[in-house]
A and B are shown apart, each in its own frame.
Chain A
């Protein structure tokens, strides 16, 4: 069974700061997902990656397959980035769902 660990659990930062959220997993995966859960509860997929790096606006996600580690970075953070960020591992080979980390609760203060 894959274990997915995220750190930190909680993060409070000032507007404009560079944010890093880390995710590690215990066994090999086919893909790693980063999700955002807004205060209202909705879950939105940010990235899915199996190697290297992806960028969308101010968000960057990287993955190191050998080290079983992924990071989500937010540049020039803004209060609207306040949310819970969740990483999830896809084991591959079938439609067997995702294994989720517990999430990182991010608060960006003005």
Chain B
């Protein structure tokens, strides 16, 4: 039981490049989330998916797209990376829409030059 996994752990991009951050959970959770964490700021919600086939914008969605590929996987795509997207990205999941514990992945550290 691996919990929530994320790949890659670390990535360096040049401005304008694209990439996809992968997230998978093996806990049969319905809800999945992407957050970003920046120095001096709390984690902020980028996108979430309440269930397979649905996605919704969070607080800071601009510059990102997401795909809920199936119940297990939720990917985050940067189509044209910008230095402002340099951050640590965390994926999280929880069982259902009922307020429950969220389980976090180990994070992806992204540097955009």
A interface residues (Cβ-Cβ under 8 A, vs B): 4, 30-31, 33, 35, 41-45, 48, 50, 86, 88, 90, 92, 94-103
Contacts and interface: CB of A to CB of B under 8 A. Distances in A.
12 contacts: A4-B42, A31-B99, A41-B106, A42-B104, A43-B107, A86-B43, A94-B97, A95-B33, A96-B48, A100-B43, A102-B41, A102-B42
Interface centre among A31, A41, A92 (most CB of B within 10 A): A41
Given A95-B49, A96-B58, A102-B40, 13 more contacts: A4-B42, A35-B104, A44-B104, A48-B100, A86-B43, A88-B42, A94-B50, A95-B30, A95-B31, A95-B33, A95-B96, A100-B35, A100-B42
A13 to B, nearest CB: 22
B107 A95 contact: no
Contact of B102 (A41, A92, A94, A98): A98
B27 to A, nearest CB: 13
Q: Which of B30, B35, B96, B104 has the most CB of A within 10 A?
A: B104
Contacts of A90: 99
